[in-house]
Amino acid sequence: MPEQPGKNAIEVRGVRKVFGTGENQVAALDTVSVSIRENEFFTLLGPSGCGKTTLLRLIAGFDFPTAGEILLHGQDIAPLPPYKRPVNTVFQSYALFPHMTVAQNIGFGLEMLGKPKGEIEARVAQMLKLVKMEALKARRTSQISGGQQQRVALARALGPQPKVLLLDEPLSALDYKLRKEMQIELKRLQHETGITFIFVTHDQEEALTMSDRIAVMSAGKILQVGTPRDIYDRPAERFVADFIGETNFLEGEVKSAADGSATVRLSTGAEIPASLPEGFTPSGSVTLVVRPEHAQIGPADANASLRGTVENVVYLGTDTHLHLKLDDGSAFIVRRQNSRGGGEALAPGNRVGVAIGPNAAQALKD
Ligand code: ATP
Protein backbone atom coordinates (compact mmCIF):
# COMPACT_ATOMS: atom_id res chain seq x y z
CA MET A 1 0.00 0.00 0.00
CA PRO A 2 1.24 3.51 -0.74
CA GLU A 3 0.98 4.53 2.94
CA GLN A 4 3.62 1.97 3.84
CA PRO A 5 7.20 2.82 3.03
CA GLY A 6 8.08 1.21 -0.28
CA LYS A 7 11.05 1.36 -2.63
CA ASN A 8 11.74 4.79 -4.01
CA ALA A 9 11.23 5.38 -7.72
CA ILE A 10 12.59 8.93 -7.57
CA GLU A 11 14.69 10.67 -4.95
CA VAL A 12 15.15 14.40 -5.22
CA ARG A 13 18.04 15.43 -2.99
CA GLY A 14 18.77 19.04 -2.11
CA VAL A 15 17.76 20.28 -5.56
CA ARG A 16 18.04 23.98 -6.30
CA LYS A 17 17.20 25.63 -9.60
CA VAL A 18 18.06 29.25 -10.23
CA PHE A 19 17.01 31.09 -13.39
CA GLY A 20 18.56 34.38 -14.55
CA THR A 21 21.41 36.36 -13.05
CA GLY A 22 21.90 39.39 -10.77
CA GLU A 23 18.71 41.30 -10.00
CA ASN A 24 16.71 39.04 -12.30
CA GLN A 25 17.68 35.89 -10.44
CA VAL A 26 14.76 33.61 -9.47
CA ALA A 27 15.16 30.54 -7.28
CA ALA A 28 12.41 28.47 -8.93
CA LEU A 29 13.37 25.61 -6.58
CA ASP A 30 14.90 26.49 -3.24
CA THR A 31 16.57 23.30 -2.00
CA VAL A 32 13.90 20.65 -2.45
CA SER A 33 14.19 17.09 -1.16
CA VAL A 34 11.50 14.47 -1.61
CA SER A 35 11.21 10.73 -2.21
CA ILE A 36 8.54 9.35 -4.51
CA ARG A 37 7.76 5.65 -4.11
CA GLU A 38 7.36 3.00 -6.76
CA ASN A 39 3.78 2.52 -7.91
CA GLU A 40 2.66 5.72 -6.26
CA PHE A 41 0.27 8.41 -7.49
CA PHE A 42 2.21 11.40 -6.27
CA THR A 43 1.00 14.98 -6.75
CA LEU A 44 2.91 18.26 -6.69
CA LEU A 45 0.33 20.81 -5.58
CA GLY A 46 0.79 24.56 -5.30
CA PRO A 47 -0.13 27.95 -6.73
CA SER A 48 1.11 29.27 -10.05
CA GLY A 49 4.85 29.96 -10.05
CA CYS A 50 5.70 27.79 -7.01
CA GLY A 51 8.09 25.59 -9.01
CA LYS A 52 6.00 22.50 -9.86
CA THR A 53 6.76 22.47 -13.58
CA THR A 54 10.42 23.21 -12.94
CA LEU A 55 10.72 20.12 -10.73
CA LEU A 56 8.96 17.99 -13.35
CA ARG A 57 11.26 19.31 -16.11
CA LEU A 58 14.34 18.45 -14.03
CA ILE A 59 13.08 14.88 -13.52
CA ALA A 60 12.33 14.59 -17.27
CA GLY A 61 15.79 15.94 -18.13
CA PHE A 62 14.57 18.99 -20.10
CA ASP A 63 16.63 21.13 -17.75
CA PHE A 64 19.42 20.67 -15.17
CA PRO A 65 19.52 21.45 -11.44
CA THR A 66 21.77 24.30 -10.28
CA ALA A 67 22.61 22.11 -7.27
CA GLY A 68 21.56 18.75 -5.84
CA GLU A 69 20.83 15.42 -7.47
CA ILE A 70 17.95 13.32 -8.73
CA LEU A 71 18.08 9.55 -8.41
CA LEU A 72 15.92 7.08 -10.31
CA HIS A 73 15.84 3.70 -8.57
CA GLY A 74 18.98 4.75 -6.71
CA GLN A 75 20.93 5.84 -9.85
CA ASP A 76 21.91 9.47 -10.46
CA ILE A 77 20.17 10.38 -13.74
CA ALA A 78 22.15 13.57 -14.41
CA PRO A 79 24.19 12.01 -17.25
CA LEU A 80 21.10 10.69 -19.05
CA PRO A 81 19.50 12.82 -21.79
CA PRO A 82 15.66 12.95 -21.71
CA TYR A 83 15.17 10.22 -24.34
CA LYS A 84 17.34 7.78 -22.38
CA ARG A 85 15.42 8.26 -19.12
CA PRO A 86 12.69 5.67 -18.42
CA VAL A 87 10.38 8.61 -17.87
CA ASN A 88 7.66 10.01 -20.12
CA THR A 89 5.66 13.24 -19.95
CA VAL A 90 2.07 14.18 -20.72
CA PHE A 91 1.81 17.92 -21.26
CA GLN A 92 -1.08 20.30 -20.76
CA SER A 93 -1.24 20.79 -24.53
CA TYR A 94 -1.31 17.18 -25.61
CA ALA A 95 1.07 17.81 -28.53
CA LEU A 96 -0.56 15.18 -30.75
CA PHE A 97 0.08 15.05 -34.49
CA PRO A 98 -3.20 16.23 -36.07
CA HIS A 99 -2.57 14.62 -39.46
CA MET A 100 -1.95 11.18 -37.95
CA THR A 101 -4.58 8.73 -36.76
CA VAL A 102 -5.14 7.83 -33.13
CA ALA A 103 -3.24 4.54 -33.61
CA GLN A 104 -0.33 6.25 -35.44
CA ASN A 105 0.01 8.79 -32.65
CA ILE A 106 0.13 6.04 -30.03
CA GLY A 107 2.70 4.09 -32.04
CA PHE A 108 4.90 7.10 -32.79
CA GLY A 109 7.08 6.95 -29.65
CA LEU A 110 7.63 3.21 -30.15
CA GLU A 111 8.67 3.77 -33.77
CA MET A 112 11.17 6.41 -32.66
CA LEU A 113 12.62 3.83 -30.28
CA GLY A 114 13.09 1.52 -33.28
CA LYS A 115 10.79 -1.23 -31.99
CA PRO A 116 9.88 -4.01 -34.46
CA LYS A 117 6.60 -3.53 -36.39
CA GLY A 118 4.85 -6.52 -34.80
CA GLU A 119 5.69 -5.37 -31.30
CA ILE A 120 4.44 -1.86 -32.08
CA GLU A 121 1.13 -3.20 -33.41
CA ALA A 122 0.60 -5.39 -30.37
CA ARG A 123 1.47 -2.62 -27.96
CA VAL A 124 -0.75 -0.06 -29.75
CA ALA A 125 -3.67 -2.50 -29.58
CA GLN A 126 -3.03 -2.99 -25.87
CA MET A 127 -2.88 0.79 -25.26
CA LEU A 128 -6.05 1.43 -27.31
CA LYS A 129 -7.83 -1.07 -25.08
CA LEU A 130 -6.39 0.44 -21.90
CA VAL A 131 -7.68 3.93 -22.71
CA LYS A 132 -10.89 2.61 -24.33
CA MET A 133 -10.21 4.13 -27.75
CA GLU A 134 -10.33 0.99 -29.96
CA ALA A 135 -13.40 2.23 -31.85
CA LEU A 136 -11.67 5.46 -32.88
CA LYS A 137 -8.25 4.09 -33.77
CA ALA A 138 -8.44 5.11 -37.45
CA ARG A 139 -9.65 8.67 -36.80
CA ARG A 140 -7.30 11.61 -37.13
CA THR A 141 -6.63 13.30 -33.81
CA SER A 142 -7.93 16.57 -35.27
CA GLN A 143 -11.32 14.85 -35.50
CA ILE A 144 -11.76 13.71 -31.88
CA SER A 145 -12.86 15.52 -28.71
CA GLY A 146 -10.62 17.06 -26.05
CA GLY A 147 -11.23 14.18 -23.63
CA GLN A 148 -10.42 11.65 -26.38
CA GLN A 149 -7.24 13.55 -27.26
CA GLN A 150 -6.29 13.35 -23.60
CA ARG A 151 -6.67 9.58 -23.69
CA VAL A 152 -4.52 9.32 -26.83
CA ALA A 153 -1.82 11.47 -25.22
CA LEU A 154 -1.86 9.16 -22.20
CA ALA A 155 -1.72 6.03 -24.35
CA ARG A 156 1.19 7.47 -26.35
CA ALA A 157 3.10 8.27 -23.16
CA LEU A 158 2.38 4.85 -21.62
CA GLY A 159 3.26 2.95 -24.82
CA PRO A 160 7.03 2.65 -24.20
CA GLN A 161 6.35 1.38 -20.64
CA PRO A 162 8.09 4.16 -18.75
CA LYS A 163 8.94 3.55 -15.08
CA VAL A 164 7.65 7.01 -14.25
CA LEU A 165 4.95 9.08 -15.96
CA LEU A 166 5.05 12.84 -15.47
CA LEU A 167 1.75 14.67 -15.94
CA ASP A 168 1.82 18.47 -16.13
CA GLU A 169 -1.73 19.76 -15.50
CA PRO A 170 -3.05 17.35 -18.15
CA LEU A 171 -6.72 17.94 -17.31
CA SER A 172 -6.80 21.72 -17.27
CA ALA A 173 -8.15 22.07 -20.83
CA LEU A 174 -11.17 19.86 -20.11
CA ASP A 175 -14.57 20.98 -18.86
CA TYR A 176 -15.60 20.24 -15.28
CA LYS A 177 -17.55 17.03 -15.90
CA LEU A 178 -14.94 15.53 -18.21
CA ARG A 179 -12.18 16.50 -15.79
CA LYS A 180 -13.98 14.60 -13.01
CA GLU A 181 -14.30 11.54 -15.27
CA MET A 182 -10.64 11.71 -16.31
CA GLN A 183 -9.53 11.98 -12.66
CA ILE A 184 -11.10 8.58 -11.98
CA GLU A 185 -9.72 7.27 -15.29
CA LEU A 186 -6.17 8.39 -14.49
CA LYS A 187 -6.35 6.73 -11.10
CA ARG A 188 -7.50 3.52 -12.79
CA LEU A 189 -4.68 3.70 -15.37
CA GLN A 190 -2.11 4.22 -12.65
CA HIS A 191 -3.48 1.29 -10.69
CA GLU A 192 -3.64 -1.04 -13.72
CA THR A 193 -0.21 -0.21 -15.10
CA GLY A 194 1.62 0.01 -11.73
CA ILE A 195 3.64 2.93 -13.12
CA THR A 196 4.65 5.74 -10.76
CA PHE A 197 2.65 8.86 -11.68
CA ILE A 198 3.92 12.32 -10.76
CA PHE A 199 1.04 14.70 -11.33
CA VAL A 200 1.22 18.49 -11.25
CA THR A 201 -1.80 20.62 -10.40
CA HIS A 202 -2.84 23.82 -8.66
CA ASP A 203 -6.30 22.33 -7.98
CA GLN A 204 -6.52 21.07 -4.41
CA GLU A 205 -9.69 19.05 -5.00
CA GLU A 206 -8.04 17.26 -7.93
CA ALA A 207 -5.02 16.48 -5.73
CA LEU A 208 -7.16 15.15 -2.88
CA THR A 209 -9.24 12.97 -5.24
CA MET A 210 -6.42 11.21 -7.05
CA SER A 211 -3.26 11.10 -4.99
CA ASP A 212 -1.68 8.51 -2.74
CA ARG A 213 0.48 11.33 -1.41
CA ILE A 214 0.69 15.05 -2.05
CA ALA A 215 3.61 17.50 -1.77
CA VAL A 216 2.34 21.02 -1.12
CA MET A 217 4.68 23.61 -2.64
CA SER A 218 5.04 27.36 -2.18
CA ALA A 219 7.70 29.74 -3.48
CA GLY A 220 10.14 27.04 -4.59
CA LYS A 221 9.86 24.94 -1.44
CA ILE A 222 8.02 21.79 -0.44
CA LEU A 223 6.15 22.65 2.75
CA GLN A 224 4.54 19.31 3.55
CA VAL A 225 4.29 15.81 2.12
CA GLY A 226 1.51 13.45 3.18
CA THR A 227 -1.58 11.48 2.28
CA PRO A 228 -4.61 13.58 1.28
CA ARG A 229 -6.02 12.96 4.76
CA ASP A 230 -2.77 14.05 6.48
CA ILE A 231 -2.63 17.20 4.44
CA TYR A 232 -6.28 18.06 5.02
CA ASP A 233 -6.68 17.02 8.66
CA ARG A 234 -3.16 17.70 9.89
CA PRO A 235 -1.72 20.66 7.99
CA ALA A 236 1.63 21.67 9.51
CA GLU A 237 1.72 25.27 8.32
CA ARG A 238 -0.71 28.12 7.76
CA PHE A 239 -0.11 28.13 4.00
CA VAL A 240 -1.01 24.42 3.70
CA ALA A 241 -4.11 24.81 5.89
CA ASP A 242 -5.27 27.80 3.86
CA PHE A 243 -4.47 26.37 0.43
CA ILE A 244 -6.29 23.06 1.03
CA GLY A 245 -9.98 23.54 1.72
CA GLU A 246 -11.87 26.02 3.84
CA THR A 247 -10.63 26.57 7.35
CA ASN A 248 -10.83 28.50 10.61
CA PHE A 249 -7.82 29.87 12.47
CA LEU A 250 -7.89 30.38 16.25
CA GLU A 251 -5.25 31.94 18.47
CA GLY A 252 -4.49 30.40 21.88
CA GLU A 253 -1.93 29.94 24.63
CA VAL A 254 -0.23 26.60 25.10
CA LYS A 255 -0.90 25.18 28.61
CA SER A 256 0.97 21.96 28.03
CA ALA A 257 2.46 20.08 25.08
CA ALA A 258 3.98 16.62 24.78
CA ASP A 259 3.91 13.51 22.57
CA GLY A 260 2.20 15.06 19.56
CA SER A 261 -0.64 16.80 21.39
CA ALA A 262 -1.18 20.00 23.34
CA THR A 263 -3.77 21.63 25.55
CA VAL A 264 -4.47 25.14 24.37
CA ARG A 265 -6.36 27.90 26.19
CA LEU A 266 -8.55 30.05 23.94
CA SER A 267 -9.52 33.70 24.55
CA THR A 268 -12.87 32.47 25.91
CA GLY A 269 -11.00 30.64 28.69
CA ALA A 270 -11.93 27.25 27.21
CA GLU A 271 -9.13 24.69 27.12
CA ILE A 272 -9.12 22.40 24.09
CA PRO A 273 -6.85 19.60 22.89
CA ALA A 274 -4.88 20.09 19.67
CA SER A 275 -2.69 17.70 17.69
CA LEU A 276 0.82 18.85 16.78
CA PRO A 277 2.81 18.61 13.54
CA GLU A 278 5.58 16.02 13.70
CA GLY A 279 8.62 17.19 15.63
CA PHE A 280 6.93 20.40 16.82
CA THR A 281 6.44 21.24 20.53
CA PRO A 282 5.06 24.77 20.86
CA SER A 283 5.10 27.08 23.86
CA GLY A 284 3.50 30.51 24.38
CA SER A 285 0.99 31.55 21.76
CA VAL A 286 0.00 29.26 18.94
CA THR A 287 -2.37 29.27 15.96
CA LEU A 288 -4.86 26.42 15.67
CA VAL A 289 -6.71 25.29 12.60
CA VAL A 290 -10.23 23.84 12.82
CA ARG A 291 -12.02 22.64 9.69
CA PRO A 292 -15.64 23.90 9.47
CA GLU A 293 -17.07 20.37 9.50
CA HIS A 294 -15.08 19.41 12.61
CA ALA A 295 -16.80 21.94 14.90
CA GLN A 296 -20.35 21.58 16.24
CA ILE A 297 -23.01 24.16 17.01
CA GLY A 298 -24.45 24.01 20.54
CA PRO A 299 -25.92 26.28 23.18
CA ALA A 300 -24.06 29.55 23.92
CA ASP A 301 -23.38 28.50 27.51
CA ALA A 302 -20.29 28.14 29.68
CA ASN A 303 -19.53 24.66 28.25
CA ALA A 304 -19.03 26.01 24.71
CA SER A 305 -15.44 26.36 23.47
CA LEU A 306 -16.44 29.52 21.56
CA ARG A 307 -19.51 31.75 21.58
CA GLY A 308 -20.86 34.10 18.95
CA THR A 309 -23.71 35.26 16.75
CA VAL A 310 -24.89 33.80 13.46
CA GLU A 311 -24.25 36.32 10.68
CA ASN A 312 -25.15 34.30 7.62
CA VAL A 313 -26.71 30.93 6.80
CA VAL A 314 -25.72 29.50 3.42
CA TYR A 315 -27.70 26.45 2.28
CA LEU A 316 -25.69 24.31 -0.16
CA GLY A 317 -27.93 21.26 -0.65
CA THR A 318 -25.75 18.61 0.97
CA ASP A 319 -24.72 20.90 3.80
CA THR A 320 -25.25 24.32 5.34
CA HIS A 321 -22.49 26.82 6.13
CA LEU A 322 -23.05 28.93 9.23
CA HIS A 323 -20.97 32.09 9.21
CA LEU A 324 -20.48 33.22 12.80
CA LYS A 325 -19.06 36.36 14.36
CA LEU A 326 -17.36 35.25 17.57
CA ASP A 327 -17.51 37.43 20.69
CA ASP A 328 -13.90 38.53 20.16
CA GLY A 329 -14.93 39.91 16.74
CA SER A 330 -13.30 37.18 14.60
CA ALA A 331 -15.09 35.14 11.96
CA PHE A 332 -15.73 31.38 12.23
CA ILE A 333 -17.50 28.97 9.87
CA VAL A 334 -19.30 25.78 10.90
CA ARG A 335 -20.46 23.32 8.25
CA ARG A 336 -23.43 21.11 9.08
CA GLN A 337 -24.52 18.19 6.96
CA ASN A 338 -28.17 18.47 5.97
CA SER A 339 -30.75 15.75 6.45
CA ARG A 340 -34.47 15.85 5.85
CA GLY A 341 -36.13 17.63 8.76
CA GLY A 342 -32.93 17.30 10.78
CA GLY A 343 -31.06 20.01 12.66
CA GLU A 344 -32.32 23.07 14.41
CA ALA A 345 -33.00 25.93 11.99
CA LEU A 346 -30.70 28.85 12.66
CA ALA A 347 -31.05 32.40 11.43
CA PRO A 348 -28.86 35.51 11.44
CA GLY A 349 -28.82 37.09 14.89
CA ASN A 350 -29.10 33.79 16.83
CA ARG A 351 -26.65 33.34 19.70
CA VAL A 352 -24.74 30.06 19.46
CA GLY A 353 -21.92 28.15 21.08
CA VAL A 354 -19.29 26.13 19.21
CA ALA A 355 -17.98 22.84 20.57
CA ILE A 356 -14.50 21.82 19.42
CA GLY A 357 -14.13 18.10 20.03
CA PRO A 358 -11.02 16.09 20.93
CA ASN A 359 -9.80 15.51 17.36
CA ALA A 360 -10.85 18.77 15.74
CA ALA A 361 -7.95 21.17 16.28
CA GLN A 362 -4.43 21.10 14.88
CA ALA A 363 -1.64 23.46 15.96
CA LEU A 364 0.39 25.15 13.22
CA LYS A 365 4.14 25.73 13.13
CA ASP A 366 3.68 29.34 11.98
P1 ATP B 1 2.31 27.20 -13.15
O2 ATP B 1 1.29 26.46 -12.33
O3 ATP B 1 1.90 28.62 -13.45
O4 ATP B 1 2.79 26.45 -14.35
P5 ATP B 1 4.65 26.38 -11.62
O6 ATP B 1 4.41 26.11 -10.19
O7 ATP B 1 4.74 25.22 -12.53
O8 ATP B 1 3.60 27.42 -12.18
P9 ATP B 1 7.27 27.06 -12.61
O10 ATP B 1 6.88 27.11 -14.05
O11 ATP B 1 8.07 25.90 -12.15
O12 ATP B 1 5.99 27.23 -11.67
O13 ATP B 1 8.07 28.41 -12.29
C14 ATP B 1 8.67 28.69 -11.03
C15 ATP B 1 9.32 30.05 -11.06
O16 ATP B 1 10.44 30.03 -11.94
C17 ATP B 1 8.43 31.17 -11.55
O18 ATP B 1 8.74 32.33 -10.82
C19 ATP B 1 8.82 31.31 -13.00
O20 ATP B 1 8.59 32.63 -13.45
C21 ATP B 1 10.31 31.00 -12.97
N22 ATP B 1 10.78 30.36 -14.22
C23 ATP B 1 10.38 29.20 -14.73
N24 ATP B 1 11.03 28.90 -15.88
C25 ATP B 1 11.87 29.96 -16.11
C26 ATP B 1 12.83 30.28 -17.13
N27 ATP B 1 13.06 29.44 -18.15
N28 ATP B 1 13.48 31.44 -17.01
C29 ATP B 1 13.28 32.28 -15.97
N30 ATP B 1 12.41 32.04 -14.98
C31 ATP B 1 11.71 30.91 -15.04
Decide if pLDDT at 17 tops 50: yes
Nearest CA to ligand 1 atom 30: 19
Q: What pLDDT score was predicted for residue 106?
A: 95
Q: How far is the centre of ligand 1, averaged over its atoms, from the C-alpha of 124 (Å)?
A: 35
Mean per-residue pLDDT, 182-204 = 92
As a whole number, the mean pLDDT across the chain is: 92
Q: How far is the centre of ligand 1, averaged over its atoms, from the C-alpha of 282 (Å)?
A: 35
CA nearest neighbour of 224 among 364, 79, 41: 364
DSSP-derived pairing of the beta strands 331-337 and 248-258: unpaired
Q: Which atom of ligand 1 is nearest to the CA of 54?
A: 11
Q: What pLDDT score was predicted for residue 92?
A: 79
- SS3 for the chain, per residue? CCCCCCCEEEEEEEEEEEECCHHHCEEEEEEEEEEEECCCEEEEECCCCCCHHHHHHHHHCCCCCCEEEEEECCEECCCCCHHHCCEEEECCCCCCCCCCEHHHHHHHHHHHCCCCHHHHHHHHHHHHHHCCCHHHCCCEHHHCCHHHHHHHHHHHHHCCCCCEEEEECCCCCCCHHHHHHHHHHHHHHHHHHCCEEEEEECCHHHHHHHCCEEEEEECCEEEEEECHHHHHHCCCCHHHHHHCCCCEEEEEEEEEEECCEEEEEECCCCEEEEECCCCCCCCCEEEEEECHHHEEEECCCCCCCEEEEEEEEEECCCEEEEEEEECCCCEEEEEEECCCCCCCCCCCCCEEEEEECCCCEEECCC
Chain centroid, CA 158 distance in Å: 22
Q: Which atom of ligand 1 is nearest to the CA of 220?
A: 14
Mean per-residue pLDDT, 231-254 = 94
Nearest CA to ligand 1 atom 16: 28
Q: How far is the centre of ligand 1, averaged over its atoms, from the C-alpha of 26 (Å)?
A: 9
Decide if pLDDT at 328 tops 80: yes
**How distant, in Å, are the alpha carbons of 275, 295, 306, 311, 362 from that of 270?**
16, 14, 8, 23, 16
pLDDT, tens digit (0-9, with 9 covering 90-100), for 32-47: 999 999 999 999 999 9
Local confidence band at 56 (pLDDT 50, 70, 90 cut-offs): very high
Q: Which residues line ligand 1 (CB under 6 A)?
A: 19-20, 26, 28, 46, 48-54, 202
pLDDT, tens digit (0-9, with 9 covering 90-100), for 106-161: 999 899 889 999 999 999 999 999 888 999 999 999 899 888 898 899 899 999 88
Q: How far is the centre of ligand 1, averaged over its atoms, from the C-alpha of 55 (Å)?
A: 10
Q: What pLDDT score was predicted for residue 132?
A: 87
Instruction: Tell me the pTM.
Output: 0.89
Q: Which atom of ligand 1 is nearest to the CA of 17?
A: 16
